[in-house]
Amino acid sequence: MSTEQCTLDTCPESAAVYGYRPNLGINVFFTVVFGLVALWSLIVTAWKRRWISYGIILAVGAVLELVGYLCRALSNGDPFDVDYFSIQFTLLTLAPVFTSASIYLSLKYLATNLGRGHFNISPKFYTAFFIPSDVIALIIQAVGGGLATSESTSDNPPPPSDGLLVGTKITIAGLALQVVSLCTFLILFIAVAVPKRQTSISNEPKSVATNGRRPLYLFMFMLLVATVLILIRSSYRVAELSQGLASSLATDQWLFVGLDGFMVAIAMALMVILSPALILPA
pTM tops 0.75, yes or no: yes
From first to last of its 282 residues, the chain has per-residue pLDDT tens of 456 678 888 899 888 999 999 999 999 999 999 999 999 999 999 999 999 999 999 999 999 999 999 999 999 999 999 999 999 999 999 999 999 999 999 988 888 888 888 888 888 889 899 999 999 999 999 898 888 877 766 655 555 555 677 888 899 999 999 999 999 999 999 999 887 665 444 444 444 444 457 889 999 999 999 999 999 999 999 999 998 888 889 899 999 999 999 999 999 999 999 999 999 987
pLDDT at 200: 44
Distance CA 213, CA 223 (A): 15
pLDDT at 273: 95
| Torsion of Cα atoms, 273 then 100 then 179 then 73, to 10° | 70
Could you tell me if 16 and 80 are in contact, meaning their C-beta atoms sit under 8 angstroms apart?
A: yes
pLDDT at 209: 45
- Alpha helices by DSSP H, listed for 49-122, are 52-74, 82-114
Residue 115, Ramachandran bin (φ over 0: left; ψ between -120 and 50: alpha; else beta): left
Distance CA 273, CA 279 (A): 9
Could you tell me if 89 and 108 are in contact, meaning their C-beta atoms sit under 8 angstroms apart?
A: no
